[in-house]
Amino acid sequence: MTLEELTNFLRQKRDEHLEFFECKTGLDYRLFDTVCAFLNTKGGLIVLGAKTDSEISGIDPSNVERYKKEIIKASNNPSYINPPFILRPEDFLIDDKHVIAVWVPISSQVHKYGNVIFDRVNEMNIKVAGQHIDEIYSRKRNFFTENMIYPFLSKADFNQELFNKSRNLIRSRNPDHPWLALDDDKLLISAGLDMTDFMTGKRGFTLAAALLFGHDIVIQQILPQYRLDAMVRIVNTDRYDDRLIIQTNLIEAYEKLMEFVGKHLNDKFYMEGDIRISLRERIFREVVANLIIHREYTNAHTATFIIYKDRVEIKNANNPRDFRRLEIGSFEPFQKNPNIARFYRALGRSEEIGSGIRNVNKYLSVYADGALPSFDEGNIFTTIIPLQSENISLKTGTPAKGINEGLTEGINKGLTEGINEGLIKGLINEISDEVRQNLNDLLFFLFQNEGVNAADIAEHLAVSVKTVERYISILRKLDIISHSGAKRTGGYYISDSFKSRIR
> Quick one: CATH architecture of 225-391?
2-Layer Sandwich (3.30)
Give percent above pLDDT 70 in the chain: 92
Contact 424, 218 (CB under 8 A): no
241-255, 294-308, 372-386, 447-461: lowest mean pLDDT where? 447-461
Confidence of residue 255 (pLDDT cuts 50, 70, 90): very high
Q: Which residue has the higher pLDDT, 389 or 259?
A: 259
Contact 33, 129 (CB under 8 A): no
Measure the CA–CA gap between 475 and 439, rounded to whole angstroms: 8
Predicted pLDDT of residue 132: 83
Question: Starting from the edge strand earliest in sequence, which strands make up the sheet with 81-82, in order?
Answer: 81-82, 112-113, 116-121, 124-127
CA torsion sign for 102, 112, 12, 334 is positive
CA torsion sign for 272, 278, 284, 290 is negative
pTM for this model (two decimals): 0.61
Measure the CA–CA gap between 342 and 427, rounded to whole angstroms: 37
Cα Rg for the chain, rounded, in angstroms? 26
Q: Report, as an integer, the average pLDDT of 352-366.
A: 81
The CATH number of 405-502 is 1.10.10.10
Confidence of residue 411 (pLDDT cuts 50, 70, 90): confident
Q: Which residue has the higher pLDDT, 93 or 327?
A: 93
Question: What single DSSP character describes residue 395?
Answer: -
Contact 226, 176 (CB under 8 A): no
Helical H runs in 81-191?
131-143, 160-173, 184-190
Q: Report, as an integer, the average pLDDT of 286-298.
A: 91
Predicted pLDDT of residue 269: 81
Residues with Cβ within 8 Å of residue 153, at least 6 apart in sequence: 204, 205, 209, 210, 214, 218, 222
Indicate the Cα dihedral angle 412, 417, 423, 427, nearest 10°.
-90
Is the pLDDT confidence value at 344 over 90?
A: yes
Predicted pLDDT of residue 321: 60
Q: Which residue has the higher pLDDT, 269 or 150?
A: 150
Quote the mean pLDDT of the chain.
86
Is the pLDDT confidence value at 127 over 80?
A: yes
CATH class (in words) of the domain with range 1-143: alpha beta
For residue 107, give Cα distances in angstroms to 35, 42, 67, 136, 378: 11, 8, 23, 11, 21
Is the pLDDT confidence value at 400 over 60?
A: no
| Residue 439, amino acid | L
CA torsion sign for 449, 452, 458, 460 is negative
CA torsion sign for 311, 312, 313, 318 is negative
Predicted pLDDT of residue 79: 87
Is the pLDDT confidence value at 64 over 90?
A: yes
Q: Report, as an integer, the average pLDDT of 32-49.
A: 92
Is the pLDDT confidence value at 402 over 70?
A: no
Measure the CA–CA gap between 93 and 83, rounded to whole angstroms: 32
Predicted pLDDT of residue 270: 87
| Residue 402, amino acid | G
| Residue 376, amino acid | D
Question: What single DSSP character describes residue 353?
Answer: T
Contact 311, 387 (CB under 8 A): yes
Is the pLDDT confidence value at 485 over 60?
A: yes
User: Taking the CA of residue 25 as centre, how many other CA atoms within 13 Å lie in the half-sphere pointing to its CB?
Assistant: 0
3-state SS record for 78-100: CCCEECCCCCCCEEEEECCEEEE
53-57, 290-294, 360-364, 395-399: lowest mean pLDDT where? 395-399
Question: What single DSSP character describes residue 180?
Answer: G
- The candidate with the shortest Cα–Cα distance to 213, out of 195, 194, 239, 196, is 194
Predicted pLDDT of residue 317: 87
Confidence of residue 327 (pLDDT cuts 50, 70, 90): low
* Helix and strand numbers, DSSP H then E, in the chain: 17, 22
Q: Report, as an integer, the average pLDDT of 354-377.
A: 87
Question: What single DSSP character describes residue 266?
Answer: -
339-353, 405-419, 429-443: lowest mean pLDDT where? 405-419
Q: Which residue has the higher pLDDT, 178 or 430?
A: 178
Is the pLDDT confidence value at 66 over 90?
A: yes
Contact 429, 412 (CB under 8 A): no
- Residues 194-218 have pLDDT tens digits of 998 777 788 999 999 999 999 999 9
Give percent above pLDDT 90 in the chain: 45
Q: Report, as an integer, the average pLDDT of 152-173.
A: 94
Is the pLDDT confidence value at 433 over 90?
A: no
For residue 90, give Cα distances in angstroms to 6, 49, 122: 11, 12, 25
Is the pLDDT confidence value at 356 over 80?
A: no
Is the pLDDT confidence value at 491 over 70?
A: yes
- Residues 444-466 have pLDDT tens digits of 888 877 888 898 888 878 788 89
Residue range(s) in the chain whose domain bears CATH number 3.30.565.60: 225-391
Is the pLDDT confidence value at 265 over 80?
A: yes
Confidence of residue 406 (pLDDT cuts 50, 70, 90): low
Span between the terminal Cα atoms of the chain, in Å: 53
- Residues 68-117 have pLDDT tens digits of 999 999 998 888 898 888 898 999 999 899 999 998 888 878 899 988 99
Residue range(s) in the chain whose domain bears CATH number 1.10.10.10: 405-502
Predicted pLDDT of residue 333: 58
Is the pLDDT confidence value at 285 over 90?
A: yes
Predicted pLDDT of residue 401: 38
Identify whether 151 is preceded by a cis peptide bond (ω within 30 of 0). Answer: no
Predicted pLDDT of residue 424: 79
Residue range(s) in the chain whose domain bears CATH number 3.30.950.30: 1-143
CA torsion sign for 220, 223, 225, 231 is negative
